[in-house]
A and B are shown apart, each in its own frame.
Chain A
């Protein structure tokens, strides 16, 4: 993966951020159980930074609420993302960042799948295969250089 070359999509389209989740009265009631939902997964990954631009994945429309599915019965989460251009070489890195963020912050009971939206990238199937291969992901995150790049992407201003 080449990281040193300049940005490929020089002039990306920028989208409006969605409003923050409104806190309901029941959120403060300790006896009510709040299931993890699509929106919560979205809130986890929306703030991931793009590797090339000083923008978040949400602002570039790489991830959106519709691309997330969650099934609390079978404990599975599926995230689909859309690279800004079909030949984006950063797609794997973006996918890896999403995986890393969810790995750190989702309860361990969930099985996570990260895929590219159908037809959104020319190497879709290869990248999907890479991203969902547990061993390759682990190996990638053990690589010191790669981990530093991923960490830079998932560092948000609050943390």
Chain B
């Protein structure tokens, strides 16, 4: 079919495939563009408006089909000239013209003059706001394209472009177009001369502030929608893009800050916080006091935390902006003047601690202080001495505590604190205060000490004595321990406090060497805290502790401060000898060995080789009395990196094969099997190892007893972690075992449980031990297991152990995977709450509680069975977490329609009378909340 015929067909039938055919002809050069235009010429000049329009649309669509490097400059030129002539022809044609322009603008060969023609034509002939959204969108796309890619051309047009753009955009309401407009404006304020039209430009943007837009809920999920955040951000970026807007923007922000609508105030503060990079304090000099008043009012009487945080940030921003400008005490642009005002206005509130305004005032003053170093010094030197004076005159302990907390809050570290110094008189006064009152208020003094130390304020001798006494004699609770540890770590980290640190360490060590007693764990932990310093750690360790067995246990904490080389060369051999002779099987040993293994690199090849050859391959070590030594080795070797020790690991795998299987069953068998799994996982990329693993799995399947099922599980898990799709082959076997009527069913359930439990990874099958773990292992596993287990799940005659493991499985599966299935599985969950399934209760209750919370209505059909069970479990004496979760479920159930739950109300309120008298406080707390929900059901 020739070109003419195709065109006719399009005009008559509007067949869309014709566009593709014509485009293809042009690309393959079977048709020339000129010939195409000549062929369509009659239609383009037809006296019928609809035909002209259709012909133009066809041209636009065909050109769109072509790649954007296809057209020659002269072709583009003629098309541009022709299209701009058509613009003034008839308004109906304009939409097609704009479409064609959009495509031509993106052609890479377009020259500058054509760009200018196009822009001028758009601005003179197109009354943008009278067109539908699509065409307006096209116009803005063209303009944004030029701003982004042909800025030089746009700059030639100068501020005319700005003026015309303002006219085009005026009155735009569609969010999709607004996003584009805002982008254009951002470029314009940055690269074009907006000076003559800055007020108009501001007005056109300001009318959208504050942006309140809620996206419509569309049924088509894939459709891209503009979000509120996108618009808010775009609008904020323009308002804060140039200091030229300051004179208009600040009054607008003030107006919004004075309004009653919290969202408007929040938006105004958000803009202010971001505008200080561009706006100069001189531009807003006449508004500074007014802004301060508004912000401090917001912060002092904030309705919610969001407003409070925003207001405090605004105060800091205001002070920073003044700090950046040239100070002049004659005008309001003076840090000192504004800080004085802040102290005058808020300082009084600090004297009335019981009042609600005391803490907001502290926060406001701290927000002023954190702006820059001048503000900090002024605030500190004004407020802290008077607070100290107040402290000394007050009698009540809780008032004194509040003052300590306030000082701590003022001195809390912020981003700028590293460069400023606390005035020395303030610092001295504080240290005196701390030394006198440390014993009475340790919990409040410790945070203050850490803040002071972080400001590099040097404490006196008294601190050491106080701390030593405190560590050795005080009965430390968890909260105090954390605070103390922070102080000690700060002391350890800085060279400034080296003397104090050394003295403290000596004091502590003397305390037990002098009296020849055993130090308490707390004291040891404090000593370790004092070694937290990458440069001094080694020295301190060697000087004070080595060799001491107690410290070996705590050493893993310090590993990050010691260089690998140091550990490899100095710690390995003596420590391992020590460990081999004296260790006991505990968590610390495992962690210690695994850390050693994980840092071993190529430089320790010889050590590793000697180590396993002399130890692991020695038959005597496999005897039962030396098993702890074996454990050390297993954890060490299990953590070696594949990258450096592939060959060694393979060697070990082949050698210990026999040894592991010849072992008689004992409590260590489990760890041997995991070690074996660890090696298989690390070497699974080698075919012979994979085959070997598979043959062992087969062997286990032929004689399924406890030992073999256990080994089967571990090897399968090692393989699944490497490649999750392997699970498909093994699940049928597991299901077969689970349906057996013997003990095998229970073992298989246990096996499924450990296969699907990813939360409690054993040390030897985890990424920490450098095992290969597929990133999607959870998703692939659960999808596979669930699809194969479905029939089993809906089976009504589940054994208790099966029920238990399946319910567990459900609570382990990520919610997104079972979202659709969970409702169909609800009957099983409820059945799991029956008295016979005690062990399944926690998991089932958690799943049900999540479900009721997120979708209460899904449970409506089951409330008849669910209520009695929850009522029984709410008084289950053996486990308080079950009572708490049941009460939570009962509380969430009050969200169901009242007529559904009303019949149960009396009964439940009666039951809850028992629960509010529970012997555990946490249960009572939950019971009270539940009781109130039920009592006030209709209130």
Question: Is B936's CB under 8 angstroms from A151's CB?
Answer: yes
Within 8 A of B (CB), among A18-73: 22-23, 25, 27-28, 30, 32-34, 36, 40, 43-44, 59, 61
The answer to whether A106 has its CB under 8 Å from any CB of chain B is: yes
Question: Is B936's CB under 8 angstroms from A159's CB?
Answer: yes
The answer to whether B575 has its CB under 8 Å from any CB of chain A is: no
Within 8 A of A (CB), among B890-939: 913, 916-917, 919-922, 924-925, 928-929, 931-933, 935-936, 939
- A15, B355: Cα distance in complex, Å: 4
- A52, B913: Cα distance in complex, Å: 30
A40-B924, A106-B916 are known contacts. Are A15 and B878 too (CB-CB below 8 A)?
A: no
How many chain A residues touch B (CB < 8 A): the figure is 33
CB-CB under 8 A from B919, the residues of chain A are 33-34
What residue in chain A is nearest B932 (Cβ atoms)?
A159
Q: Would you give the shortest CB distance from B114 to chain A, in whole angstroms?
A: 65
A28-B922, A30-B878, A40-B924 are known contacts. Are A158 and B929 too (CB-CB below 8 A)?
A: yes
The answer to whether B880 has its CB under 8 Å from any CB of chain A is: yes
- A28, B881: Cα distance in complex, Å: 9
A16-B355, A27-B920 are known contacts. Are A159 and B933 too (CB-CB below 8 A)?
A: yes
CB-CB under 8 A from A107, the residues of chain B are 913, 916-917
CB-CB under 8 A from A33, the residues of chain B are 919-920
The answer to whether A105 has its CB under 8 Å from any CB of chain B is: yes
- A104, B912: Cα distance in complex, Å: 10
The answer to whether B797 has its CB under 8 Å from any CB of chain A is: no
Question: Is B921's CB under 8 angstroms from A27's CB?
Answer: yes
Question: Is B922's CB under 8 angstroms from A23's CB?
Answer: yes
How many chain B residues touch A (CB < 8 A): the figure is 29
The answer to whether A8 has its CB under 8 Å from any CB of chain B is: no
Q: Would you give the shortest CB distance from A1 to chain B, in whole angstroms?
A: 19
Q: Would you give the shortest CB distance from A61 to chain B, in whole angstroms?
A: 8
CB-CB under 8 A from B356, the residues of chain A are 14-16, 59
- A-B CB contact pairs (8 Å), 16 listed: A15-B356, A16-B355, A25-B478, A27-B921, A28-B880, A30-B880, A33-B920, A34-B919, A40-B924, A104-B931, A106-B916, A108-B917, A152-B939, A154-B932, A155-B936, A156-B932
- A109, B917: Cα distance in complex, Å: 9
The answer to whether A13 has its CB under 8 Å from any CB of chain B is: yes
What residue in chain B is nearest A152 (Cβ atoms)?
B939
The answer to whether B879 has its CB under 8 Å from any CB of chain A is: yes
Q: Which residues of A contact B (CB under 8 A)?
A: 13-16, 22-23, 25, 27-28, 30, 32-34, 36, 40, 43-44, 59, 61, 104-109, 148, 151-152, 154-156, 158-159
CB-CB under 8 A from A15, the residues of chain B are 354-356
Q: Would you give the shortest CB distance from B243 to chain A, in whole angstroms?
A: 41
Q: Would you give the shortest CB distance from B382 to chain A, in whole angstroms?
A: 23
The answer to whether B395 has its CB under 8 Å from any CB of chain A is: no
- A14, B795: Cα distance in complex, Å: 62
Q: Would you give the shortest CB distance from A139 to chain B, in whole angstroms?
A: 18
Q: Would you give the shortest CB distance from B441 to chain A, in whole angstroms?
A: 15
What residue in chain A is nearest B921 (Cβ atoms)?
A34
Q: Would you give the shortest CB distance from A23 to chain B, in whole angstroms?
A: 7
Contact of B359 (CB < 8 Å), options: A16, A32, A44: A16
Q: Would you give the shortest CB distance from B903 to chain A, in whole angstroms?
A: 20
The answer to whether B479 has its CB under 8 Å from any CB of chain A is: yes
The answer to whether B716 has its CB under 8 Å from any CB of chain A is: no
CB-CB under 8 A from A106, the residues of chain B are 916
- A97, B791: Cα distance in complex, Å: 55
The 5 tightest CB contacts between A and B, nearest first, are: A107-B917, A151-B939, A14-B356, A34-B921, A159-B932
What residue in chain A is nearest B357 (Cβ atoms)?
A14
CB-CB under 8 A from A154, the residues of chain B are 932, 936
- A44, B880: Cα distance in complex, Å: 21
The answer to whether B358 has its CB under 8 Å from any CB of chain A is: yes
For B355, B359, B931, B932, the residue with the greatest tally of chain A CB atoms inside 10 Å of its CB is B932
Question: Is B879's CB under 8 angstroms from A30's CB?
Answer: yes
For A104, A108, A148, the residue with the greatest tally of chain B CB atoms inside 10 Å of its CB is A104
Question: Is A36's CB under 8 angstroms from B924's CB?
Answer: yes
- A105, B921: Cα distance in complex, Å: 13
What residue in chain A is nearest B909 (Cβ atoms)?
A104
Q: Would you give the shortest CB distance from B892 to chain A, in whole angstroms?
A: 12
CB-CB under 8 A from A156, the residues of chain B are 932
CB-CB under 8 A from B357, the residues of chain A are 14
CB-CB under 8 A from A148, the residues of chain B are 939
CB-CB under 8 A from B924, the residues of chain A are 34, 36, 40
- A156, B925: Cα distance in complex, Å: 14
CB-CB under 8 A from B920, the residues of chain A are 27, 30, 32-34
What residue in chain A is nearest B933 (Cβ atoms)?
A159
Question: Is A104's CB under 8 angstroms from B932's CB?
Answer: yes
Q: Would you give the shortest CB distance from B819 to chain A, in whole angstroms?
A: 28
- A16, B935: Cα distance in complex, Å: 29
Q: Would you give the shortest CB distance from B916 to chain A, in whole angstroms?
A: 6
- A109, B918: Cα distance in complex, Å: 12
Contact of B928 (CB < 8 Å), options: A14, A23, A105, A152: A105
Other contacts beyond A108-B917, A109-B917: 7, CB < 8 A: A16-B356, A16-B359, A23-B922, A107-B913, A154-B936, A159-B932, A159-B933
CB-CB under 8 A from A28, the residues of chain B are 880, 922
Q: Would you give the shortest CB distance from B406 to chain A, in whole angstroms?
A: 12
CB-CB under 8 A from B931, the residues of chain A are 104-105
The answer to whether B131 has its CB under 8 Å from any CB of chain A is: no
The 0/1 profile, CB within 8 Å of A marked 1, for residues 63-75 of chain B is 0000000000000
